[in-house]
Amino acid sequence: MSDERLKILGLNIKIARLKAKISQEQLAEKIGVSRETISMIENGNQNTSVVKILDIAGVLKVEISQLFKDI
């Protein structure tokens, strides 16, 4: 079951990724997960660690607070 907070986080990650013009596959490779994992995170279907969220923020060159916006 998906939590609304995970859906918002996932959408924020997706928006930041698209703005950075990085594919799911490229992001996945840079943080050491599968493309499917990125897809599940972006769709709010998978919880992930704070460390991975920090990694995502670093790759996308955004503040971590941007990824948690509106949660």
Q: What is the pLDDT along the chain (71 residues), one digit of tens a residue?
A: 459 999 999 999 999 999 999 999 999 999 999 999 999 999 999 999 999 999 999 999 999 999 999 99
Q: Distance between alpha carbon 44 and the CA centroid of its chain, in Å?
A: 9
- Say if pTM beats, i.e. exceeds, 0.75: yes
- Across 40-61, b (16+ Cβ under 10 Å) vs e yields bbbebebebeeebbebbbebbe
* SS3 of residue 69 by DSSP: coil
Helix, strand, coil percent values for the chain (each to nearest 5):
65, 0, 35
Span between the terminal Cα atoms of the chain, in Å: 18
Name the fold adopted by 4-67.
Answer: 434 Repressor (Amino-terminal Domain) (1.10.260)
